[in-house]
Amino acid sequence: MVIGIVGESGVGKSTATSFFQSKGAYIISADLIVKYVYQLPETKARIIKELGQEFLNQEDYTVNLLALRKYAFENYQFLSKLEQLIWPEMKKIIINEINQHKSETLVVLDCAVLFNAKLDYLVNKVLLIKSPRELQIKRIKARDHVTDYDAANLLNLQKSHLILDKKVDFVINNNRSLQDYLSQLTKLFKNLTKKPKK
């Protein structure tokens, strides 16, 4: 069973993947894969060619992910160009990971852009996680050490860009306590891993 997790930033996708990992699920994180892709020499060369050197850290010439992300907050065309540079390698790695581990009891693909990147064909089920906007902003600020303005900009960009209105199989609202959230995830885990009756 392969389940894809989608949702905007700050809804609790990382908490959900940590929970599933603690239950023995194999986790594939699109965010971690993207970070890896950014550090590949060929990616860096493409970024310099297409976007210039201002997005490199001057001390070690690695890609400055914070600068890229901050600029993408307010520039939709820039974000689209960035995706064209990064997604082909990201998709190749995700497809390979799923093919290698699809015999596991549960594989979790944490990928906010699952529908945007047309990767939903790889999963059996899709979980959409939702949260109130004020909670999302609070979590983004704590996680990324950014201002209310930057957190709100990220959410506004995702609202206009992220495809989340396609068919999903499960919806969890992470709008109460952590205990309540984990309780909902526990019910879902039992549902996903229960053995069919003979």
Q: How far is CA 148 from the centre of its chain?
A: 21
Pairing state between β 170-173 and 26-29: unpaired
Q: What pTM, to 2 d.p., does this model score?
A: 0.91
The pLDDT assigned to 198 comes to: 59
Length of the chain as a residue count: 198
The pLDDT assigned to 197 comes to: 64
- Using a pLDDT cut of 70, give the percent of the chain over it: 98
Rounded CA-CA distance 115/46 in Å is 25
The pLDDT assigned to 72 comes to: 78
Q: What is the pLDDT of residues 172-187, one digit of tens each?
A: 999 999 999 999 999 9
Provide mean pLDDT across the span 22-27.
97
